[in-house]
A and B are shown apart, each in its own frame.
Chain A
Amino acid sequence: QKEVEQDPGPLSVPEGAIVSLNCTYSNSAFQYFMWYRQYSRKGPELLMYTYSSGNKEDGRFTAQVDKSSKYISLFIRDSQPSDSATYLCAMSLNSGYSTLTFGKGTMLLVSP
């Protein structure tokens, strides 16, 4: 079993929909959780990060961590065509000073 699992999609939604993207993980030592966004033929860019359990909100984006279930989510409200991209979750160990482990990424398509 891979350490981080993420459904590759694609996930197709109409503009304005609420989107839910998810990752599960097996290593309970992961404490720092990040979401990266990657547009087609570009490098990934950091969208949000959270530490341990809880929620974090930034504009239309909310990141949620449930460490008891080893499950993290990214919610996008009022989705826009410009949100069409691949979203990768990433995690690092409890020290924070460790390399990142990435999920495979979920491709999101938001149609006008």
Chain B
Amino acid sequence: DAGITQSPRYKITETGRQVTLMCHQTWSHSYMFWYRQDLGHGLRLIYYSAAADITDKGEVPDGYVVSRSKTENFPLTLESATRSQTSVYFCASSESLDSVTDTQYFGPGTRLTVL
């Protein structure tokens, strides 16, 4: 019963490189989310997805690309990493967007450092 997993857990990259963060959930939840967490800003939504092939922007989408070809996977790509994208990235999933009945379950996070 893995739940929601993220890989890698830690990543160091250089400015300008492409980086992909992976997220996998085993519950068949419809909704998946990517957040970044920074000191002084808290958790901010980057992108979310309602189902396979359906994605939508969150609060801070610039510089990120997502795809969702399968329900259980929701990769996040930084096409050309910048130092400002150094952060902890959390993936989450939920059955629906109904925040009353369906909790968002978070993964363990990926710590990304861009040098």
Contact = CB atoms under 8 A, between A and B. Distances in A.
A49 interface: yes
Interface string B73-115: 0000000000000000010100011111001111111000000
Contacts of B45: 99-100
Contact of A43 (B97, B98, B103, B106): B106
Contacts of A42: 108-109
Interface size range of chain A in the complex: 20 to 34
Interface residues of B, number: 23
Interface of A, secondary structure class, is loop
Interface string A91-112: 0100011111011110000000
Given A43-B108, A97-B96, 7 more contacts: A32-B99, A42-B109, A51-B100, A88-B42, A96-B100, A98-B97, A104-B41
7 shortest interchain CB distances as A-B pairs: A43-B106, A104-B42, A102-B43, A92-B99, A97-B97, A46-B103, A32-B99
